[in-house]
Amino acid sequence: MTSLLRRFDFWTVVTGAILAVLVLLLLFPIVRVLMLSFVDADTLDWTLGNYVELFTRNYYLKGLKNTLFVGVLGTLGACLLGIPLAFFTARFHLWGRAWISTLAILVLVAPPFIGAYAWIMMLGSNGFITNFFEGVGIDIPTVYGAHGIILVFTLKFFPFVFLMTQTALMAVNKSFEDAAENLGCTPWQRFVKITLPLVFPAISTGAIICFVLSIADFGTPAILGRGFRTLSTIAFAAYRSELGGLPTMAVTVSMVMIVISMLALLAQRRILSKRRYASSLTNLPVKVKLTGWRNAAVHIFCHGVVLIAMSPTLVVVYTSFLKTKGPVFVGGFGLESYGRILRTAPEAITNSFVFATAAVVLITMFSALISYVIVRRETAASGTIDFLMMVPYLIPGVVMAIGFVTTFRSGFMSGTSAVWLLIMLYFIRRLPYGVRSTTSSLRQIKPSLEEAAINLGAPPLRAFLKVTIPLILPGLIVGSLMGFITAINELSGTLILYDSGTITMPVSIYLAVLDGEFGLAAALSTVLLLCTGLCVYLVFRFTENRDSAFL
Amino acid sequence: MASVEIAGLRKLYGDVVALSDINISIPSGSFFTLLGPSGCGKTTLLRTIAGFHNQNAGRISVDGHSIEGLPAHRRDVGMVFQDYAIFPHISVRENVAFGLKQRKISASEITKRVNDVLDVVQLGAFADRMPHELSGGQQQRVGLARAIVIRPKVLLMDEPLSNLDARLRVDLRAELRRIQRDLGITTVYVTHDQEEALAMSDTVCVMYEGVIQQAASPLDIYLRPVNKFVATFVGANNFLAINRSGSQLVLLSGGAKVLGSCVDATDIVCAIRPETILAKPGSVAPVGDEIAIPATLSNVSFVGREMEVIAVTDQGETLKSLARPDPEIIGLSQNSSVTLCVNRSDLAFFEAGDAGGCIG
C-alpha cells in the first residue's frame, strides 16, 4: 500500500500527464506524417514511391535546391549583418546602443510575413522605390524571386545572430585578448584568431536558428516567390491539391524539411561538442571609444542596419493610414483601411486574440509544471520531456498542421473542430518558449526552498503553488508573453487548419496581400504589430536581461 | 520530544552504496551529530529521516512508531537548511508562520507562537522585515525559528552554520545548543566541522563511505577512537611505522619496544596526537614511562597560544608536535637535533589501512 502511494505521488502523476499530452499532440501527428509518407495515395499500400518521386522529379528537386539555396544564403546574410553589429555594440562606445537592440528585438518579433509584403510595396513592380528610380530613368531589379527572399531572410533573422553573439562577446574574458595582444597580435589578428573562435558557439547557435526558420518559412516565399518554389510552399500546394485524398506528397515533402532541420541541428551540436569554453568572468571586456571616420562609419553601419530592417514595419504602419478607395490608394491620409477591417474582418481580430489567449493559458500552466519536472525530477521521463521540448522548434508549421489534420480529422477524432485544432496547434508549437523561460527561472531557485515548505507540512502541490510559483513568476510571465507573440503571429499552420469561421489576422493579411489589398493588409498588420509591441514592452518590464529574453 | 531508532538502514544510488546498514539509537532530548567528510553519507542519512529520500532497506522509528511510507510533508520533523532556505517572497513573520498555517492553527495562536519563538532567537524586532534585509546569521535564526515553532518531534540540522563566517559560527553554535537544551528537543545535526561536533554534541557519530565508524561521546571519540579513520579525521594525528623484530614490536623511528608480543595483526601503525609530543633540544634519554625519538628539526612556527614543531626522525618519518611555546626550541636553527618525548599511555595502535581497527 505504501509503496503504491509512493509510486503515485503528485509529481509522478503530473509527469505522466505531461507525457500523455506530448505524445498525443506532438508525437502522434509527427509519426502519422512519417507513416503517410510511405503510403501510396491510390492503392493505400506501403511504398517508397513518394520518396522516389520526390528525388527524381525536377519539380521537387528544384524546390529542395531552392530551399537550401535561400536557407544557406539567408543565414550567411544574417551572419554578415549580425556578427559585425554584435562586435561593434559590444566593444565600442556607441550612441544609442539600447535603441539598436530594442529595434533588433522588434524586428525579431514582428510577424514574419509582414517583411515580405512591405518589401513588395517598396521594391515590387509597383513599389515606390522602384517607381522613383523608374522616374529618373534607372531600371532596378524587383524584389521577386530568390534574391528578394534572401534579402528578407537576412533582414528578418540577423537579430538572432546579433543578440546571441553580443551576449557571448560581453562575457569573453578580456585577459584572453590581452594575452593575444601581449604575444604580438594586431587587433585584426586578435579578433580573427581569439575573439571570433571564442564566440563561435554563440554564432553557430544563432545561425542554426536562422537556417531552421528559413527552411520552415512559408509566408516569405509564398508572397515573394512568383514561381520560385521552396519546400514549404510545395508542401502547402501539394496539400491543397491533394485535398480530399491522402496528402501523401505533402507529408513526404514535409519529412524532407524535418530531416534537413534535424541534420543541421545535429551537425551544429557535433561541432559544438568539441568546443566548450568555460569562462570565469574575472576580467570583463571594456568598450573602446572610436574617433573620426571610424566612429562615423560604425555608427552609420549599426543604425543603418536596424533602420533598414525596421523599414518594412514603418512602411506597413505608414501605409495603413493612407487614404484608400477599395484596394486603390487615392493619395492623402485617411482611416478607411481601419474602417474596412472593422467591416470585413472583425472576426479575424477576435479569433486571433481568443485562440492565442486560450493557447497561452495552456502554455502557462504546462510551462510551470513541465519546467518543474525537467529541473527538479531527474528521471528518464523528465529527460524525455526535456528532449521533446526541442522538437517543436524543428517542425515547420505546415508540417505540424498537416500532421494535425491527418491525425485528428480521421478516425474516431474526426469531429474535432477547427477552433480546438488551432488552439492545440498554437499550444504545442509555442509551448517551448514558455518552458524555456520558466526553466531558466526555476534553475535560479534553490531546491531547498521547496523542501523547506514540504518539511513544514505543505503537500507537494501546495508547496509548488505557495513557494515555487511566486518565485518563478517573472520567468513564467516572460515565457507566456513570448508564447503569445508567436502564437498570434502564426500563419503557415493556420492556413492549413482554418475554415470560414476561424480566420485569423495573419491569414487575412496573407489573403489580402495575394489580392493586392495592401491598405487592408497594412491596417491589420498594424493592429498585430501594436499588440506585439505591447507584449515586448511588458517583457522588458518583467525581465532583467532584455536582450536574451527573446532568444 | 521523541527518541529516534534507525535499524538496518540501507540506501543505494544505482550501484553506489550511499548508506550501508545504519543502526542508530538516539535518546529523547539528546543532541546527536553526524560527522564526516563530504560524500560520507551524513546528509543522505539526514534527508532520509526527513523523507526526501526513500531508503532501500531498513526502518526509521520515532517514538517507537515507524515513519516508513509517510511522505515528507507529514513526518513532523523540523529541518534547518545549510543555505537557510528562507522563502524570499514573504516576510520573516510569514516564514515562521508557514508551518503553523499548514497545521491549521488559529490565527491568534499563530501570532503568539511566532512572537514567542522570534524572541527566543532574538529576532523580535525583525518580524516584519523581508528576508533580503537580514544578514546570513539572522536568516539562519529565522530558519531555526521556523523549524522549532511547529514543535516537531525531531529537529534536523544540515550544516546550518557552514555558510557563516568563523566568529558568528562560534557564537551561533552556543546559542543553538542553549535553545536545543531549553526546549529539550531531540536533534540530529550534520557537520563536517569536528570542532563544532565535539563542542555541541551529546553523541558524535563519525561516518565514512556510508558506514558508521563510531558513535560515542565527544570525549570518547577523541581519546578512544575505535579505528584509524576516526583517529585521523577527528583531531590531528601522527602515524608511525612499526617493525616486527623477532617476537617483539618496535617503533621504526627511535626503536622503542611497544605493545606485547601477543598481537598477531601483521601491519600495525602507532598513532600519537601532536599535543602529547614534547620536543626537547639536543639528545635526551627517556624518563620513566616515556619513549624518546631522536629527530632533526625541520620547522618551528610560533602561532601565539602554542608552537608547532615539525621534525623528521632519523628514519625519515615526519612528526608534528603542538606544545606551549618554548623559547629554547623557537631559538633553534633548522636541522638542529631534537628529541621527541611521548608518554607510553598516549600511544594508540591501529591496523594499517584507511579504517583499520584499534588494537590493545
pLDDT of A50-65, one tens digit each? 899 889 999 999 999 9
Chain B contact present for A469, CB below 8 A:
no
Give the pLDDT score at B30.
95
A444 vs B: CB within 8 A? no
The radius of gyration of chain B from alpha carbons, rounded to an integer in Å, stands at: 25
Q: Which of A448, A458, A471 sits opposite B83 (nearest CB)?
A: A448
Considering only CA atoms, which of B197, B239, B189, B193 is closest in space to residue B218?
A: B197
Beta strand pairing call for B238-245 and B307-313: unpaired
User: How is residue B225 written as a grid cell?
Assistant: 577512537
Alpha helices for A92-195 (secondary structure H): 97-109, 112-123, 128-135, 146-170, 174-182, 187-190
Q: How many angstroms separate the CA of residue A537 from the nearest CA in chain B? A: 25
Distances in whole angstroms, Cα of residue B31 to Cα of each of A456, B185, B197, B359 = 21, 8, 10, 29
pLDDT at A276: 65
Q: What is the pLDDT along chain B (360 residues), one digit of tens a residue?
A: 689 999 999 999 888 899 999 999 999 999 999 999 998 999 999 999 999 888 999 999 999 999 988 888 988 899 999 989 999 989 999 999 999 999 999 999 999 999 999 999 999 999 999 999 999 999 999 999 999 999 999 999 999 998 888 888 898 999 999 999 999 999 999 999 999 999 999 999 999 999 999 999 999 999 999 999 999 999 999 999 988 777 778 888 887 888 765 566 678 889 999 999 999 998 988 888 899 999 999 999 998 889 999 999 988 999 999 999 999 999 999 999 999 999 998 999 998 887 788 886
Between the CA of residue B61 and those of A267, A346, B28, what are the distances in Å?
Answer: 55, 68, 12
Interfacial A residues in 471-510 facing B (CB < 8 Å): 471
CB atoms within 10 A of CB B13: 11
pLDDT tens across A101-136, in order? 888 888 888 887 788 888 888 888 778 888 888 888
Going from N- to C-terminal start, the domains of chain B cover 4-233, 238-359
**CB count in 10 Å sphere of residue A243:** 10
Q: What pLDDT is attached to residue A333? A: 86
Find chain B residues with C-beta within 8 A of A9's C-beta.
71
Which pLDDT score is estimated for A167? 84
CATH number for B4-233 (one of 2.40.420.20, 3.90.1170.50, 3.40.50.300, 3.40.50.720): it is 3.40.50.300
Residue A464 per-residue DSSP state: I
Question: Does residue A310 sit in helix, strand or coil?
Answer: helix
Same fold, B4-233 and B238-359: no
Q: So what's the pLDDT on residue A518? A: 84
pTM of the model: 0.81
Residues of A with CB below 8 A from B92's CB? none
Task: Walk along chain A (551 residues) in steps of 10 and give the mean pLDDT of each run.
Answer: 54 92 93 89 84 90 94 96 92 88 86 82 82 82 87 92 87 78 80 85 89 90 89 89 79 90 87 68 74 90 93 89 80 84 86 94 95 88 88 87 84 73 94 89 89 92 92 89 90 89 91 86 90 86 68 64
- Whole-number Å distance between alpha carbons of B154 and A70: 68
Identify the pLDDT of residue A8.
Answer: 63
Q: Which residues of B touch A461 (CB under 8 A)?
A: none
pLDDT at A3: 44
Angle between helix A397-408 and helix A231-241 axes, rounded to 10 deg? 30
pLDDT in tens, B116-135: 999 999 999 999 999 999 99
* B59: contact with A, CB 8 A cutoff: no
CA angle B289, B292, B294 (to 5 degrees): 175
Distances in whole angstroms, Cα of residue A47 to Cα of each of A51, A234, A268, B223: 9, 21, 32, 82
| Residue A281, pLDDT score | 56
Q: Say if CB A316 and CB A326 are below 8 A apart.
A: no
pLDDT at B141: 93
**Coil, helix or strand at residue B204:** strand
Does the interface predicted TM-score (ipTM) exceed 0.90?
no
Within 8 A of A448 by CB-CB distance, chain B residues are: 81-83, 85
Which fold is adopted by the domain B238-359?
Answer: OB fold (Dihydrolipoamide Acetyltransferase, E2P) (2.40.50)
